[in-house]
Amino acid sequence: MRFSFAHLMVFVLFFSCSNKNNLKVDVSSVDAPFSLQRFDIEFYTANEKTLQSVKNKYPYLFPALLTDSLALAKINDPQEQDLFKKSQLVFKNISKVDNSLSWLFKHVKYYDSQFSSPDVVTILSNIDYDHRVIYADSLLLISLDAYLGKNHPFYADFPAYIKQNTTKSHLIVDVANSIITKQVPKNTKRRFLDHIIYEGKKMKCLDFYLPEVTDHEKIGYSSDKLTWAVENEESVWMYFMDKNILFSTQQKLRQRFIENAPFSKFYTTEDSLSPGRIGVWLGWQIVTSYMKHNDVSLQELLKKDTDEIFKNSKYKPKK
């Protein structure tokens, strides 16, 4: 019996460092306290006598349809226990995750004084990849079973581009993205350029919030896919220009170049060599160029409209 909680709520290193401004800042004095609670452990080690105390502590994880009998059946289910035990092999000691979260929250607070660290609760979601992290202002749920490592047997049927981001090191990127999505003003325009600049703003926030994380980890590319993006930047740009894509409002462009996919769709024989979401990567480069040539803070950047950023970015793709 299975019940998902998710519905409730050295080339690469060179480019990772050389094409961004030095964004390392001292956040040691920033106050961003939070609590980290292990619902996954408390739930899967509960029994008939202790279940009520778990329910009292985490009422938001026990909807009415999850009766005590169903909860106990879930706890005692062999598959559920196997999932729990395998997750514990990777996350029994969660001190590194705790430190990474503290480091992230301090950086967010440094750049956004209105930010308040959420309470963090670790759960298991039966490997619901689309709901690995759920952020709701004061609460952050992290599904640990989605970060057991790209070679873990649980992910054997996942495509390679999905497996790439099922690692412990990518967990903090997903957490940061969940926060950033709520901070960056929504894009309400339909042009392809608007979409990639919006995505570029979010990627730029990652640069500020996770200054020591590599570029390939931030965008979720393998090393060879990032290499392709860097080496083919000019070709991608010329393709978008020649096909009049930048100012197009065709919805299918999002599927081809922005949404998560194994590769981007230029409709050529070499598409499979490219990374998915190449429009996101290109928007990142444009926004980075804008910040390089304009004296604006991160918060000011987020308020700038697409045309301002594009016009004054002085973006010129690498040959």
| Nearest CA-CA partner of 174 in 143, 200, 199, 212 | 143
Pairing relation of β-strands 139-143 and 133-135? antiparallel
Percent residues over pLDDT 70 in the chain? 93
Q: Which two tokens stand for residue 54?
A: 């778990």
Looking at residue 219, what is its pLDDT?
Answer: 98
Angle at the Cα of 180 (from 192 to 293), degrees rounded to 5? 65
pLDDT tens, 271-284? 999 999 999 999 99
For residues 176 and 133, what is the distance between their CA atoms, to the nearest angstrom?
A: 10
pLDDT tens, 208-238? 999 999 999 999 999 999 999 999 999 999 9
For residues 180 and 177, what is the distance between their CA atoms, to the nearest angstrom?
A: 5
For residues 37 and 248, what is the distance between their CA atoms, to the nearest angstrom?
A: 46
For residues 167 and 152, what is the distance between their CA atoms, to the nearest angstrom?
A: 10
Identify the three-state secondary structure at position 36.
Answer: strand
Cβ pair 283, 200 in contact under 8 A: yes
Percent residues over pLDDT 90 in the chain? 91
- What is this structure's pTM? 0.92
Within 8 A by CB and 6+ apart from 196, the residues are: 257, 258, 279, 280, 282, 283, 286
Q: For the chain, what are the domain ranges?
A: 26-183, 192-312
Within 8 A by CB and 6+ apart from 10, the residues are: none
pLDDT interval class at 319 (50, 70, 90)? confident
